[in-house]
Structure 1
Amino acid sequence: MFFSVARLRLLASLLFAPALVASRDDSLFTSSVTYCAPPESLLIEQFDIAYFAKNQSIVFNISAASVDPNTNVVANLFLNVYGIQPINVSIDICSLFGGALCPLPLYTFNGSDSISLPKNLNIQSKIPGITYAIPDLEAYAQLTLTDVKSGDVKACVQTTLSNGWSTHQFAVEWTTAGIAIFALAVAIWQSIVHSDLALAPIRLIDLMALFQTIALSGLLSLNFPSLYRSYTLNFAWTLGLFAASTTSPIQQSINRMRHLTGGDLSNASSNGAIDFVNRKLSPYNSASFVLADALAPSARLSLSNIDLANFPVSNTSVDSTPRILVGGDVATVTQDSSNVLQAGIPIYTNSIGIATVNAFMTVFFLALILATITLGLLAVGYGVCFVLGRTKFARRYPGIGQFRSRYSSFARAWCLRAVIVSSLPVLVFTFYQWTLKDSWLSVLLSVLLLVALATILLPAAFSATRTSFLKGERDGPNTPEWVTPLTAPYRPSRVYYILPLILVMVVKALVTAFARAHGTAQIIIFVLLESFLFLSIIAVKPHPTRGADVLACYLCVTRLVCNGLMIAFAESLAVKPIPRVAIGAIVAVIFSVAVVVMFLNTLINAGLWRLLIFVFTCCHRGRSVGHATLVGHSNDPSCVEKGAVITACEKDSATVATGGSRYFPHRPGNPSPPSTVSCSQSSPPSATSSTTLGETLPRRWSFQHSRPPSVSTNAPYSPAPTHRTSTASSPISGQRHSRNISSSVPTPLDEHFVHDRCIRTTMV
């Protein structure tokens, strides 16, 4: 088989090598305990066992009781590791220990200890080394006791196994949150210092969209491997879901509110989601419960030779052993249980301690907190601007007064950005709440939140796209400045591209919520939507620069490829567990690379790229003085992505800026001399001339314009006299936002090259 255990071991060593260097003993322990059948003869309060490979010892903490007298049972021990069944044996209890366990004694056992296993068992050679290293191990053991006479199940216990490694790490959560906070700080700074059209606020929304895409993938009703499901939990905070416990004040308040308003669904379990996961899904990977079928004489012989009373006690005391034992109430989960968690939102939210029916209310409260923080900070910012505007500091720095004058649009723009970021989680969990029919108050609040979201987002989208359809000008009089979060990322004639983006977001939310029982349909629709977005970017090229289009294509291809790979997680395809784990690791790596790319992009937008250019030009100042001068004037943050610089055409009484744009710069092609311009000698300026063009070039790199020869010029090839009035704007200023600058209008730069060539010809 292609996806063998050896290949899985190699993949795990490559992907998770940094995590495996930590100092931790190789161990296996029970991560959850559940009844797989209603208990009759054996009652378990706690069943925690840990095995340490270093000294081949077992630490246990067990509390169990036998309550059914005169019970003769046969024990079946079953082990499932990634769908493989290395152990499936049945043992005649009556033949062990001289029949001391037949019938089962009415006995209550409470004990914890650490013992060393006999070396003749050779347990270490039977456990592959990858078992201790691969994150989110998918293995469970099942012990079934059946009555010898009737064949009825007297007790059935399932315990999942773990090695302590997982792709869900608090360090990763804080790292991604730190990246988002850093991007937010850069975006706020650039929008204050420069304008709301700076590049950093645009990339902030792109970064949050990537994080939410990763988290949203974990909400689909697919049979994700535990490795990938845990990976997506690192980004749950972007959906407004933070890890909580059953004693959390917010979760307890939501539970009381639901129960008082008609809610009757169960709350979250204190043991997490593993206990209640559908046994067909990871980490169980079992289509049905396995019961005893036959006896295994070899296993019976090997166990009968073990004297449990003479097991040597380990030198390590129980108190010094790491606290990895679970404990807690043991739940009963059968094929007919109503508390089984299905794939998608139920497993996702319960994995972080949030009940399925509490998901929307949790997002609702987080939305209120976000709105309060945003409005509070904006109010404080306005107060600071108002106070500074009345001090001498404002007279020294006029930018403070200018920022105060545009503070209203600045505040509304950031409120709109907050709405854009929170739109996807609000839509997903609002629609999902409608499918639960649990609490009428939750449904009412979901409707009110959806109306508030539509009231803010839809008018902004209408205002942004109206100018695009009518005039194709982003800064036209009919375009409010506060809608720049929707208009700034796109060309003036392509602002309507936000409409398909909003449509795709709404469709994803609808599919995630209402198609929860059809995971295959969900992922296929997601693939079609990402294909549509990719083709639309190729065809429309909505962004103002080629670099922005390339970045958008890269992110879209990342989503498309990952969604395509996740088709293998559909339950109907029944892909084996090991291939699913390998595919899940690949998808996690692809998304992680995209996160790194966006982080580097954030660093560049923060000014790192300009710093590198400055250092480079300083090192080559002697050879490239002109280039260093041009770069030194490049202070527009939107110039970072394209690498454009600002040039100035100096005149006697006016200066013409030809390269800087407060939106996005566009680098023109190589200039070519107009066919209508002929080479002639330049004459001194006439006293009666109405233009100041044509003065002697002071140095080689000055971009100044030469005027046509005057009437009194006696050159044999002088053209007809031409008089032009100098203006303060460049001939291409009307095309500063155009993607392709027309070559029909000669630019001042063209005239300079033609004039310079003419001077060189005359000198020769």
Structure 2
Amino acid sequence: MWLSSSLSYLVAIVALSPFVSAIRLLQSTSLTECMANSNFSASLFQVTFTPDNKTLAININGISSISGNVTAEVVVTAYGFQALRQKLSPCDLKLDGLCPMQTGPIAIDTTIPISDSVVKAIPSIAFNVPDLDGQVFVYINSTDTGETIACLEANLTNSQTVHQKAVEWVVAVIAGLGLVASAITSGLGHSNTAAHVAANALSLFGFFQAQAMIGDTAVHMPPIVAAWTQNFQWSMGIIQVDFLQKIATWYQRATGGTASTLLQSLDTTSVVVQKRAFDTGMDLYRRGMNYFDRRATGTSQTVTISGIERVGFKADIESTNIFLTGLIWFVVFVALVMIGVSAFKGICELLVKYNKMPSDKFQDFRNGWKIVMRGILFRLTLIGWAQMCVLCLWELTKRDSAAEVILAILMFLSMAIVLGWAAFKVITLARRSIAMHKNPAYILYSDPACLNKWGFLYVQYRATAYYFVIPVLGYLLLKGIFIAFGQKAQVAQAVAFLVIEASFLIAVSVIRPWMDKRTNIFNISIAACNFLNAIFLLVFSDVFNQPGMVTGVMGIVFFVYNAVFALVLLILVLIASIYAIVSKNPDMRYQPMRDDRGSFIKSNVELNTELDALANTARGGGEMELKSTAYHPTYEEESHSISSGNGASINGATINHRPHDINKAPPSPIDPAVPLFPSHAPPSYEQNGYGQNGYGHEIERSRSPAQIGDFNPASALAMQNYRQQHNASPWQRGAGYDH
């Protein structure tokens, strides 16, 4: 019941809240000239039309170079459709200062009534669809000559928007819940569930970042698209907090930079969010390349913003504070997580000390918490890679201050080196495992130190796709490069996004690198949605010169399918997270991975196959005798783990393979004390005294090595090295070999 009500509330917030409004209105807060050498400009322009009381409130501060009697022609468009066209006479409206118009400053602050015919002429779509994509053009004509002497353009908005703080909080909390749930279930020993929940939560977070990246581009997208993508800018660190803005401004000024004051000068500065111009059928002279593409100063009368600056402005963040804001929030997030992990460790120890919690609860975490913390730190670095790629590289183009440029370089290089080293380490370990055991999962999953420190790069993939994190890192880097360096080239950004997303979709569809079918479907669906978004982005860039109506309708379609898709992902992750926390045995919900990683994870003690026997050797051989595995030496000391050195370490015993021993068959690792096949083995092993090996070939039960003895760790690894030289390993199955 609680889950059902929660999901219903989520649906209401995401799908319905943007459309609920008690007041219908159309308003504009910016004005620009739409012809060269216009004779009228405005530093303050606020016009609000409320159809319910049929009034138009006007507040304008401008400068006019026009004298004499004039008439005005007003053209209103909504989603490229001409909704209204009407001629107005200032004298008939009794507007002081405009009848006749005089040169010099003009100040208008008045409310005028609107007739019923005008109200009825405006279609309901202008009031009911959130984030109205509308414009109004005002042509001022001389009464004497009939010549157009000024052209003014204003963007229209209504009181409804899909950018909702509630949506931001809901998606952030659910993404965070997925990560927390995976950490808790991992600590409780449910490694299979933890891997699935973590993989889906990270993919969901990646989808949020992809949505934010769409909004960071310089493409002139419809207002509804810009508003929707603004909901996910928190994933890029674009979060406004007053005292952090003061710190960022102080730091920039203290290091020799000049802070932007655009948000402080809105009373005298008209800010225009750059968007596609609709063709109204008139001979309009757009300023085009004369749009301001620089930082705002106190003397600017009109500023046009786009891309990352548009995102910062909508978040009430000065453009010169965007980079430092994102950097600060990333550092704060990492610090809070590290403090939380340390506090959890301390709380667990206190609860155990005072007998408030069983001593074997979270025992693996409590004994190896330092390695776990390092793994979490690496995972946070991976999460912040997309964010820092965009912001750090963009800061190199803006150079807010010398110190901020240095911070950007250091942060980008340090993250690239750390992730590059981690990827190199994983590939090295996987190749060593393949060379020794014909199976990459052997070292990657049997060594707890390796799994907890480097596992963030490969646990979400199948064992044979351990390398796939490298294409993912490159994919995010390419997108960050085009966003950061292409802020003045919207078409180049759109084309690059299309190529990148298409290439990534093809790669994941062919390779299918994730751990199982369900996770592959989850992630391939996200890649397909990102590719579709790239197609829409290319259309929004106006490369096809399509009618304005097409762009407006596609903007609404973009919002609808992305909102539905995001809602489905949120529900899936929420259900998986809740189930992982409240279920007594959440692993029952997931089938074992086909790469047999579960056989190598040290908490697994069931031995039913020869691969499991090899896994028992990898885990230390004596694990069947221990109810808890928390004191596995490889977990405590990384220097003794399989993943370190040139040899393998099992329970502290390091085996070095000497050259003169290569061609000598090692002694049998079998000990008669313990059978290889347990007494509770499946009946298939008992039929006619035969069983089956990993290839499906029958083997004689009476001649099983289990009748001779158990594994000796050192001898077992030596035997593997010998088999590597002379024949195929009988454990060469799973790990993606059946794909």
Question: TM-score if structure 2 supplies the norm length?
Answer: 0.70
SS of structure 1 residue aligned to 2:353? coil
- Change beyond 3 A, Cα 1:637–1:38: farther
Question: Match of 2:419, as an amino acid?
Answer: L
SS of structure 1 residue aligned to 2:384? helix
Question: Match of 1:177, as an amino acid?
Answer: A
Q: 2:155 corresponds to which residue?
A: 160
Query: 2:179 aligned to 180, 184, 197, which one?
Result: 184
**Is 1:431 the counterpart of 2:393 in the alignment?**
yes
| Whole-angstrom distance in 2 between the partners of 1:720 and 1:76 | 96
- Change beyond 3 A, Cα 1:408–1:423: same
| Whole-angstrom distance in 1 between the partners of 2:237 and 2:685 | 59
Cα distance, 1:446 vs structure 2: 0.7
| Larger displacement relative to structure 2 (580-589 or 226-235) | 580-589
* 1:551-700 map, 5 Å: 551-606=522-577, 608=579, 635-636=586-587, 639=590, 656-657=607-608
| Whole-angstrom distance in 2 between the partners of 1:91 and 1:291 | 22
2:174, 2:574 within 8 Å by CA — same for their partners in 1?
no
**Is 1:407 the counterpart of 2:378 in the alignment?**
no
1:138, 1:282 within 8 Å by CA — same for their partners in 2?
no
**Is 1:22 the counterpart of 2:20 in the alignment?**
yes
| Whole-angstrom distance in 2 between the partners of 1:32 and 1:488 | 51
Cα distance, 1:118 vs structure 2: 4.4
1:26, 1:163 within 8 Å by CA — same for their partners in 2?
yes
| 1:576-628 Cα deviation digits (max 9, x unpaired) | 222112222223333333323322332443364999xx9xxxxxxxxxxxxxx
* 1:112-511 map, 5 Å: 117-119=114-116, 122-143=117-138, 145=140, 158-194=153-189, 198-199=194-195, 200-243=197-240, 248-264=242-258, 266-269=260-263, 271=266, 275-277=270-272, 281-282=275-276, 290=284, 335=291, 338=294, 340-393=303-356, 396-470=358-432, 471=434, 472-473=440-441, 474-475=444-445, 479=450, 481-511=452-482
SS of structure 2 residue aligned to 1:636? helix
SS of structure 1 residue aligned to 2:257? coil
| Whole-angstrom distance in 2 between the partners of 1:274 and 1:70 | 25
The CA RMSD measured in Å over matched residues stands at 4.8
| Whole-angstrom distance in 1 between the partners of 2:478 and 2:455 | 24
2:28, 2:47 within 8 Å by CA — same for their partners in 1?
yes
1:646, 1:659 within 8 Å by CA — same for their partners in 2?
no
2:185, 2:580 within 8 Å by CA — same for their partners in 1?
no
Question: Match of 2:445, as an amino acid?
Answer: D
Q: 1:675 corresponds to which residue?
A: none
Question: Match of 1:639, as an amino acid?
Answer: Y
Q: 1:706 corresponds to which residue?
A: 686
- Change beyond 3 A, Cα 1:552–1:48: closer
Cα distance, 1:540 vs structure 2: 2.9
Question: Match of 2:199, as an amino acid?
Answer: I
Question: Match of 1:185, as an amino acid?
Answer: V
| Whole-angstrom distance in 1 between the partners of 2:676 and 2:383 | 53
* 1:513-532 map, 5 Å: 513-532=484-503
1:273, 1:347 within 8 Å by CA — same for their partners in 2?
no
| Whole-angstrom distance in 2 between the partners of 1:379 and 1:709 | 54
Cα distance, 1:135 vs structure 2: 1.5
Question: Match of 1:739, as an amino acid?
Answer: G
Larger radius of gyration: 1
- Change beyond 3 A, Cα 1:209–1:20: closer
Cα distance, 1:166 vs structure 2: 1.3
| Whole-angstrom distance in 2 between the partners of 1:67 and 1:505 | 50
- Change beyond 3 A, Cα 1:577–1:741: closer
| Whole-angstrom distance in 2 between the partners of 1:177 and 1:123 | 44
Question: Match of 2:251, as an amino acid?
Answer: M
| Whole-angstrom distance in 2 between the partners of 1:536 and 1:98 | 64
Query: 2:76 aligned to 54, 79, 93, which one?
Result: 79
Question: Match of 1:29, as an amino acid?
Answer: Q
1:273, 1:350 within 8 Å by CA — same for their partners in 2?
no
Cα distance, 1:505 vs structure 2: 1.2
Cα distance, 1:512 vs structure 2: 1.2
1:269, 1:353 within 8 Å by CA — same for their partners in 2?
yes
1:226, 1:283 within 8 Å by CA — same for their partners in 2?
no
SS of structure 2 residue aligned to 1:276? strand
| Larger displacement relative to structure 2 (594-603 or 367-376) | 594-603
| Whole-angstrom distance in 2 between the partners of 1:720 and 1:184 | 47
- Change beyond 3 A, Cα 1:59–1:429: same
Question: Match of 1:370, as an amino acid?
Answer: F
| 1:413-471 Cα deviation digits (max 9, x unpaired) | 21122111111111111101111233211101111212332343222212222122332
2:135, 2:153 within 8 Å by CA — same for their partners in 1?
yes
2:501, 2:530 within 8 Å by CA — same for their partners in 1?
yes
Cα distance, 1:171 vs structure 2: 2.1
2:25, 2:50 within 8 Å by CA — same for their partners in 1?
yes
- Change beyond 3 A, Cα 1:703–1:100: closer
SS of structure 2 residue aligned to 1:341? strand
| Whole-angstrom distance in 1 between the partners of 2:21 and 2:269 | 26
| Whole-angstrom distance in 1 between the partners of 2:269 and 2:557 | 24
Structure that is richer in helix per residue: 2
Q: 2:619 corresponds to which residue?
A: none
| Whole-angstrom distance in 2 between the partners of 1:208 and 1:142 | 41
| Whole-angstrom distance in 1 between the partners of 2:700 and 2:205 | 61
SS of structure 2 residue aligned to 1:162? strand
| Whole-angstrom distance in 2 between the partners of 1:523 and 1:126 | 37
| Whole-angstrom distance in 2 between the partners of 1:594 and 1:17 | 11
Cα distance, 1:139 vs structure 2: 2.1
Question: TM-score if structure 1 supplies the norm length?
Answer: 0.68
| Whole-angstrom distance in 1 between the partners of 2:372 and 2:535 | 40
1:489, 1:543 within 8 Å by CA — same for their partners in 2?
yes
Cα distance, 1:365 vs structure 2: 1.1
Question: Match of 2:239, as an amino acid?
Answer: F
1:137, 1:226 within 8 Å by CA — same for their partners in 2?
yes
1:272, 1:350 within 8 Å by CA — same for their partners in 2?
no
| Whole-angstrom distance in 1 between the partners of 2:17 and 2:363 | 52
- Change beyond 3 A, Cα 1:74–1:236: same
Question: Match of 2:553, as an amino acid?
Answer: A
1:211, 1:235 within 8 Å by CA — same for their partners in 2?
yes
Cα distance, 1:129 vs structure 2: 1.6
Question: Match of 1:261, as an amino acid?
Answer: T
| 1:645-669 Cα deviation digits (max 9, x unpaired) | 9999xxxxx96456999xx9xxxxx
1:138, 1:161 within 8 Å by CA — same for their partners in 2?
yes
Cα distance, 1:20 vs structure 2: 7.7
Cα distance, 1:401 vs structure 2: 3.4
